[in-house]
């Protein structure tokens, strides 16, 4: 069973809070606001584990591979130890955007809203269908582990 499927099986039970699944040294943690039989509202998604990771290669792979989110991701900052992918500027609406952080041994996905008056950003929840969650988890885990797409 894939990690994505294992997470979705947990979410179908209508849970909230941190939900964790793992397999072969890879751990997926979802910060769940609420979930049900068809989807879930997530505040964040983290995948940890895998072997040595080339952040540059992983960032490029994720830009190409995770092309099914409602907004296209683009590489914003990519260095040897850390990569930041965000919603392309021309697709940002109401100062909300996705951010995908790639670092040695982990990948984090979240949605953020920038408050210009406060000069700060905050994490906001996002609704995803179960198929999207399963695909997203499996794609992120495969890139983190350096696996080729199926």
Written as tens digits, the pLDDT of the chain (150 aa) is: 799 999 999 999 899 999 999 998 899 999 999 999 999 999 999 999 866 788 999 999 999 999 999 999 999 999 989 999 999 999 998 899 999 999 988 999 999 999 988 889 999 999 999 999 999 999 999 998 876 554
Q: What's the pTM value of the predicted model, to 2 decimals?
A: 0.90
| Three-state secondary-structure class, residue 64 | helix
Sign of CA dihedral 113, 47, 29, 21: positive
d(CA 30, CA 12): 13
What pLDDT score was predicted for residue 148?
Answer: 52
d(CA 148, CA 65): 11
What pLDDT score was predicted for residue 150?
Answer: 45
**24: which 2 tokens?**
């072969």
Per-domain residue ranges of the chain: 3-145
Q: Kindly tell me the number of DSSP H helices and DSSP E strands found in the chain.
A: 3, 9
Element (H, E) at 101: strand 96-103
- Helix axis angle for 3-11 and 130-145, nearest 10°, is 150
């Amino acid at each position: 069973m894939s990690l994505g499927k294992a997470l979705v099986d947990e979410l179908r039970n209508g849970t909230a809070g941190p939900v964790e699944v793992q397999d072969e040294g890879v751990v997926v943690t979802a910060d769940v606001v609420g979930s049900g039989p068809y989807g879930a509202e997530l505040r964040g998604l983290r995948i940890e584990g895998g072997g040595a990771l080339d952040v540059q290669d992983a960032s490029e792979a994720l830009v190409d591979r995770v092309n099914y989110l409602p907004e296209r991701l683009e590489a914003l900052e990519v260095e040897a130890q850390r990569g930041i992918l965000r919603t392309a500027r021309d697709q940002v609406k109401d100062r909300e955007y996705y951010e995908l952080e790639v670092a040695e041994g982990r990948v984090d996905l979240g949605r953020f809203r920038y408050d210009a008056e406060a000069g700060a950003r905050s994490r906001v929840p996002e609704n995803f269908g179960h198929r999207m969650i399963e695909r997203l988890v499996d794609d992120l885990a495969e890139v983190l582990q350096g696996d080729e797409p199926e």
